[in-house]
Structure 1
Amino acid sequence: MKQTKHFEFGAEKRLKQRWFKSNGTAASRGANQWSIAMSRMRAAYRSFRNYRIHRMAERTLAAMDDGLLKDIGISRSEIGLVVRGLQRGQEDKAG
């Protein structure tokens, strides 16, 4: 009788292990998809934030008069290039 009980417990244990293994894989697959979706959302947010910062810098420089821009060392036609260069972490014209 003990062997039968032990055998039933072993079979039940194997069934539970298979169930957890199959559901665990599906759960990890779902978590992986969630992780991918979240990383894409973060990338989209960073891109949008960088765009807003870029536009704000362009508008600020465009609002300055030509004398002030000359003091900074850029011309009005170079505003977009300077802002994009600074956004990428490159040095500005002054060095």
Structure 2
Amino acid sequence: MDIILQGAHSGEEAAESLARVLELFKERYHIAGFREIHLTVTLVDEQGDDVELVDSESNQAYRVFEVYRKGYELGGRKGTPVLELIVDNTRPR
């Protein structure tokens, strides 16, 4: 199933909208959980122009940004999942 958030959104607005949709699935349709979530986003700067995140070493645009639940699903442990950033392009050089 695709979930489409039409129009421009700030990060906070997008997160809130997605949370409301997922909560609706839970409350109205009794959906217990989600196995995978794939998001396709168009990144925009403050002027509204499309931008890409580019690896400073390879000069290639990032096409996939993956977040894994560290030690949770693969290990079968119960508890609070920990999200881990796989590609960190935020460090200043």
State which structure, 1 or 2, has the greater radius of gyration over its C-alpha atoms. Answer: 1
Fold conserved (TM > 0.5)? no
Q: TM-score range by the shorter chain?
A: under 0.3
The one of the two structures with greater contact order (alpha-carbon pairs below 8 A, sep at least 6) is 1
Write 1 or 2 for the structure with the bigger share of helix: 1
TM-score by length of 2: 0.25
Write 1 or 2 for the structure with the bigger share of strand: 2
TM-score by length of 1: 0.24
